[in-house]
Structure 1
Amino acid sequence: MANDTKALLPQAAEGRVSKPAKWTTKSRVFFLLKFYWTFYVLFWLLPRLICEHFGPSSPPGGYVDPDGACPQVDALEPAGANGELWANLSALYAEDSYEKRAISWLSGAVRVPTETYDDMGPVGEDERWDTRGPFHEYLLEAFPTIHSSLKLTKVNTYGLLYEWPGTDSTLKPILLMGHQDVVPVNPDTVDQWAHPPYSGYFDGESIWGRGSSDDKSGLIAILATIETLLEHKFQPTRSIVLSFGFDEEAGGPQGAKPLAEFLLDKYGKDAFALIIDEGAGYVEQFGGIFATPGIGEKGSANVKIEIHTPGGHSSIPPKHTSIGMLSSLLVHLEANPFPVHLSRGTPVYQTLQCVAAHAPDVPPKLRRALVKGRKSDRQLRKAEEIVFENNALKALAGTTQAADIVAGGVKSNALPEQATALVNHRIATDSSLKDLRAHYPGLFKHLASSFNLSYTAFDATILDSKATFGDLIVSSPYALEPAPVTPTDADAKPYALLSGSIRTTYAKRREAKGLEAEKVFVAPGIMSGNTDTKYYWDLSKHIFRYNHHNQGTGGLGRIHTVNESMESESFLEVILFFTTLILNADSADL
């Protein structure tokens, strides 16, 4: 047996001593490379490929964000006596009788046309402002308790300022905003409306008409909340101020601007704990529900491009007319847009980080790029490539340009002596008017030279006017810097209060209606346009644009167009939101 066993083992040759094989440098390197390659494939590359192409989009039980990039505060319910009142009102808002009352409030407001046009003259001179008078009469009739209990000041005739003093004057007040006016209805589209645009018609689910969403739903929800709180004998500890402009759709120069100046003069700089104005709501994203209060607004500027050239008879034209030259400039402008990047710390970046942290169905490739992009510039560029396939997100992230108005020429047989274009820019939150203006001088210089034009940009001479065929002038008749970004860090108490109120409202409304509530996440967002808050920057560092609309059911989807409407359920939830916010703010440390 011993011999058989011995025969199965490796044997050394007779007369020789066996020695271990020598490791050469080449073999060592080969072994290490093979080892590391095997480790890389088995333990790093393969699991990721499986997850990306075959596995679920997030780990079982949901994605756990290791960096805490989008922390969520707990739902915040009013406490003490305010808590008891809040519970009673939450139940009241779910009753049919109150729903009918709320619907009648909004329907009545829609029936009063308060259209704003861009060319309206000063208040007192242009009769088109007079539509605000009947609207004020309607508010007086619809909300009698407010008008008998709160101090009302009318600023520049039609601006409405309501003040409800609290019992503790040392606390900073909260300021709630909205606007009375609506965009005009195009007469050519009236027959396209499911219901007449100023009917305020309720079909059992939605209130129809211009302003039902933007922004009479917000204004009426605030007044409904205050009226109901007064009827239930609520006395605030913290003062509440309501400010309603009347020309937001034309930029607010005669409404919001004088209101803001009045408030600044009376209350002082940074006098308000927080400001809430119209804005976004909540919507489903990648399997999660996200509320996105606007914490910033892009800047805005209209850039005017003018070309002046000699006139003459069109039968003897120059090589390029002023219109032809302007066309070349606009083509060149569109071929050279502002570079757009996904920048850390911007509202768009913060929104995406919250989606990556909490939405269950984010594609693995995008989630990985967003998470790793917090520290890696290369991964951030990967995330940018994916995200910017959505043109709307790309537009929100960067400075945009849109040639909106062109004019030139007066007759078919006369050479145009002047051609003009107006280009609208929306300036990214991490950019500035200075950056915008720096873009133009070099952009048009070579074209101006080739057309033999003098060139002035924003009052600076780029090419002189000696021996030129004409003049190119670039100016900016309107300009607004990006808004200051509202803080959302761990020390930002107003943002925490708002977030907790949103989460509580969402859950409570569904509980009161006997529905199962999904969890709602709060993500800092950004407005695509500007609100009346552009005049209110000095009044508070904590400005939010948010109305708690359900955007997934048409809340913001049909504003400024045919068939604007507001679901009654969504409107009732807006009322509950303002109720929750006011009662929470009343006892909060802000």
Structure 2
Amino acid sequence: MLPIATIATEKGSPVHPELPTSHSDLEQARAIIRAKETKEHRKAICFGLAILLLLACYFFDNITPRPFTDPFSELPLDLDAFDDFGNDDDAICRQPAPRVPQQNQNITERNYDGLFRDPEWRKEAGERLAQSVRIDTQTFDHLRDIMPTPEGTPDIPERAGFDKFKEWIAKAYPLTHKHLKRELVNRYALLYTWEGKEDVKTAKPLVLCSHIDTVPVPASSLDQWVHPPFSGHFDGEYIWGRGSVDTKNTLVAIVEAVENLLAAGFKPKRTVILAFGFDEEISGYQGARFLSKKLLDRLGPGGVELLIDEGPGIGTEYGATFASIGISEKGYTDSTLTLSTAGGHSSIPPKHTNIGLMARIIANIEENVYTPELSDDNPFLLNLQCTAKYGPEMNPWLKKAIRNVDKVRPALVKYLARDVQTRYMMQTSQAVTMINGGVKLNALPEQTIASINQRIAMHSSVETVEHHLIGLLTHLSDPSRLALNFTSTNHLNVTKTHFETPDAVGALHYETFIPALQPAPVSPVDTPAWDLIAGTVRRVSARNWEVKEGKEEKEEEEEGIIVRPELMPANTDTRHYWDLTKNIFRYDPIRADKIFGIHTVNERIALSSFIESVAFFHEIVRNFQEVEF
């Protein structure tokens, strides 16, 4: 055997002068190494045990049930002594009885209990929705102020789909096309009138609204779609494609309901109007605004009894099923900030370039948010009260706080503001959504434009938002800060100079787009109109609309569906109909677990949810004829 040093050398390693060179030295070295290894092993074992102990403590601490703690414990109040929801709270979130049509029971048998349960008819109806999706009716922001050309003349290519849609709907629904008066409004909007036996002056009509247009599909997202966005793929369970959820589903459901009522021989006592815009996704200024004007000219202010448009739907929350109906909407403004500065070569930049200055302005705006408030006239409070009263799984302290809101309002607002989903029901939101500046890598930018979208809280106004931003920007324009000349143009198109300095490094202009929108009027929930829609929802949506071929499902599967008012943070075409009626309700008869991809990839709706929508509009038309307003 070669000495250890020789072995190391032959393996190509340098001989260390301290390496053992004899067997006795080797044994001694091995003993020393074993002792060191034993010590290190013990250290490792101890360290590992310590880690395991810490992990055990952590998991034990997190999985062991803890006593419930009051999130409002900082209040000098005893919530245990506060009132809870009880039998004496009938006035809070009153639930109208399910409303069943009493007349024309043959129509109930033929349609509601017949066709709408028939697998073959359901497939045909789903295919018609799919056909509507195959017609590309995207709309784009740059079209908002572009008027359509007169009927029969060439229009911009982006609107070609709307002419195709008009042709399709006339062929797909021949009875509707034959028996209802159809008017083309501003070329593409559709206005159908189903005249009743009674005069509209004494028996105000029902208006059912929807829109033909859809949001665009970005080219960058095409490879993410399971089925192409305008394929209208129908697999027997889901209808796929852009517009299947927002909101060709409601438009087609409305016309399906009318077509089948006509086929059953139904003749309305009170007039029913269908109003379909074509630019809701860009605020409805060419569609619903023109439809509203025509209806106002014909019926006069307050000339409509009830108007229903798209809105929230049905979902489960806190252990209960709620159907949410929008009774108001937050306000809306779009604002632009335009910053102009001197240009130059990028090799000799100022302390802050134009884009740098705009970045500081935007950061300051985002740091100065609006204050949340929960006023008594905010529909969100009604929504909370319904949810607390009927949601068995809601935190019991939260239930009591909502029930006794007048005593704990500041703490309740603070608690709810922790979650953005509830915060912006009480607070004006502001989002910088677009920015553009600079034209070349080595040139200093001379102009930057930023756009801000604001959704205005119920307790606020367009003027309040303008005052907030003007005050903030005036403060920033001071020479001790950014040194800018600052002007503004408000929503009334009034321009004003707020700050000027001879040492200005640039000029800042703030402008509110003229079609700024105040928060919507709140529709009442103590009227026959509310009882009509709420009672119809409770009847229709108690039924299980899942039907398997060859299998008859139990009719009433869901007990106690709760109807609750809702504040909508987004806006609909109803903004243009305020003068027609106080009874404006926003509701989509669709279920949250049966729709996917709204405004994004793989948009789709379950056939059962679409059929439920058909049934709702079918029954709302029938029930409307029987209510005394």
**TM score, norm. by length of structure 2:** 0.80
The equivalent of 1:432 in structure 2 is: 461
**Does residue 1:495 correspond to 2:563, yes or no?**
no
Using the alignment, how far apart are the partners of 2:138 and 2:118 within structure 1?
Answer: 33
Question: Is the contact between residue 328 and residue 523 of structure 2 (CA under 8 Å) also seen in structure 1?
Answer: no
Q: How does 1:232-311 map to 2 (within 5 A)?
A: 232-311=264-343
**Does residue 1:571 correspond to 2:606, yes or no?**
no
The equivalent of 1:101 in structure 2 is: 124
Question: Is the contact between residue 310 and residue 470 of structure 1 (CA under 8 Å) also seen in structure 2?
Answer: yes
Question: Is the contact between residue 428 and residue 482 of structure 1 (CA under 8 Å) also seen in structure 2?
Answer: no
Question: Is the contact between residue 544 and residue 557 of structure 2 (CA under 8 Å) also seen in structure 1?
Answer: no
**Does residue 1:417 correspond to 2:446, yes or no?**
yes
The equivalent of 2:37 in structure 1 is: none
The equivalent of 1:130 in structure 2 is: 160
The equivalent of 2:559 in structure 1 is: 518
Deviation at 1:211, TM superposition (A): 0.9
The equivalent of 1:548 in structure 2 is: 589
Give, as a single letter, the amino acid of the residue that structure 2 aligns with 1:308.
S
Using the alignment, how far apart are the partners of 1:487 and 1:324 within structure 2?
Answer: 46
Question: Structure 2 residue aligned with 1:455, among 478, 482, 486?
Answer: 486
Q: Which has the larger radius of gyration?
A: 2
Mark the runs of 5 or more structure 2 residues left unpaired by the alignment: 1-66, 72-79, 150-154, 490-494, 547-551
Q: How does 1:55-70 map to 2 (within 5 A)?
A: 64=86, 66-67=88-89, 68-70=91-93
Question: Structure 2 residue aligned with 1:366, among 384, 398, 401?
Answer: 398
Using the alignment, how far apart are the partners of 1:192 and 1:51 within structure 2?
Answer: 45
SS in structure 1 opposite 2:541? helix
Using the alignment, how far apart are the partners of 1:279 and 1:385 within structure 2?
Answer: 27
Question: Structure 2 residue aligned with 1:321, among 342, 353, 364?
Answer: 353
The equivalent of 2:59 in structure 1 is: none
SS in structure 2 opposite 1:354? helix
The equivalent of 2:621 in structure 1 is: 582
Give, as a single letter, the amino acid of the residue that structure 1 aligns with 2:618.
T
The equivalent of 1:79 in structure 2 is: 102
Deviation at 1:64, TM superposition (A): 3.0
SS in structure 1 opposite 2:582? coil
The equivalent of 2:174 in structure 1 is: 144
Q: How does 1:345-384 map to 2 (within 5 A)?
A: 345-373=377-405, 375-376=406-407, 379-384=408-413
Kindly report the root-mean-square deviation, in angstroms, between the aligned alpha carbons of the 2 structures: 2.1
Using the alignment, how far apart are the partners of 1:178 and 1:483 within structure 2?
Answer: 21
Using the alignment, how far apart are the partners of 1:414 and 1:283 within structure 2?
Answer: 54
SS in structure 2 opposite 1:306? strand
Q: How does 1:528-543 map to 2 (within 5 A)?
A: 528-543=569-584
Using the alignment, how far apart are the partners of 2:263 and 2:465 within structure 1?
Answer: 52
Using the alignment, how far apart are the partners of 1:367 and 1:330 within structure 2?
Answer: 39
Using the alignment, how far apart are the partners of 2:86 and 2:227 within structure 1?
Answer: 47
Using the alignment, how far apart are the partners of 2:353 and 2:567 within structure 1?
Answer: 42
Q: How does 1:151-170 map to 2 (within 5 A)?
A: 151-169=181-199, 170=202
Give, as a single letter, the amino acid of the residue that structure 1 aligns with 2:609.
S
Report the more deviating stretch, 63-72 or 287-296: 63-72
Give, as a single letter, the amino acid of the residue that structure 2 aligns with 1:323.
I
SS in structure 1 opposite 2:311? strand
Question: Is the contact between residue 240 and residue 605 of structure 2 (CA under 8 Å) also seen in structure 1?
Answer: yes
Q: Percent of aligned pairs with the same residue?
A: 35
The equivalent of 2:509 in structure 1 is: 473
Report the more deviating stretch, 414-423 or 433-442: 414-423
Count of aligned residue pairs for this structure pair: 528
Question: Is the contact between residue 445 and residue 455 of structure 1 (CA under 8 Å) also seen in structure 2?
Answer: yes
Using the alignment, how far apart are the partners of 1:205 and 1:289 within structure 2?
Answer: 23
Question: Is the contact between residue 155 and residue 258 of structure 1 (CA under 8 Å) also seen in structure 2?
Answer: yes
Deviations 1:190-223 (A, max 9, x none): 2222222222222231111111111110000000
**TM score, norm. by length of structure 1:** 0.85
Using the alignment, how far apart are the partners of 2:290 and 2:588 within structure 1?
Answer: 23
Give, as a single letter, the amino acid of the residue that structure 1 aligns with 2:531.
A
SS in structure 1 opposite 2:448? strand
Using the alignment, how far apart are the partners of 1:396 and 1:513 within structure 2?
Answer: 39
SS in structure 2 opposite 1:580? helix
Deviations 1:279-306 (A, max 9, x none): 1111101001111111111111111112
The equivalent of 1:15 in structure 2 is: none
**Does residue 1:396 correspond to 2:448, yes or no?**
no
Using the alignment, how far apart are the partners of 1:402 and 1:243 within structure 2?
Answer: 32
Question: Is the contact between residue 290 and residue 522 of structure 1 (CA under 8 Å) also seen in structure 2?
Answer: yes
Using the alignment, how far apart are the partners of 2:389 and 2:566 within structure 1?
Answer: 15
Report the more deviating stretch, 328-337 or 477-486: 477-486
Deviation at 1:478, TM superposition (A): 4.3
Question: Is the contact between residue 318 and residue 391 of structure 2 (CA under 8 Å) also seen in structure 1?
Answer: yes
Deviation at 1:50, TM superposition (A): 8.0
Mark the runs of 5 or more structure 1 residues left unpaired by the alignment: 1-48
The equivalent of 1:8 in structure 2 is: none
Deviation at 1:578, TM superposition (A): 0.6
SS in structure 2 opposite 1:295? strand
Question: Is the contact between residue 205 and residue 568 of structure 1 (CA under 8 Å) also seen in structure 2?
Answer: yes
Give, as a single letter, the amino acid of the residue that structure 1 aligns with 2:563.
V
Give, as a single letter, the amino acid of the residue that structure 1 aligns with 2:487.
T
Using the alignment, how far apart are the partners of 1:523 and 1:390 within structure 2?
Answer: 21
Against the structure 1 CA distance between its residues 102 and 255, is the aligned structure 2 distance closer, same or farther, given a 3 Å change threshold?
Answer: same
Deviation at 1:161, TM superposition (A): 0.5
Deviations 1:207-251 (A, max 9, x none): 111111111100000000000000000000000000111111222
The equivalent of 1:40 in structure 2 is: none
Using the alignment, how far apart are the partners of 1:446 and 1:151 within structure 2?
Answer: 58
Using the alignment, how far apart are the partners of 1:470 and 1:405 within structure 2?
Answer: 21
Q: How does 1:222-241 map to 2 (within 5 A)?
A: 222-241=254-273
SS in structure 1 opposite 2:337? strand
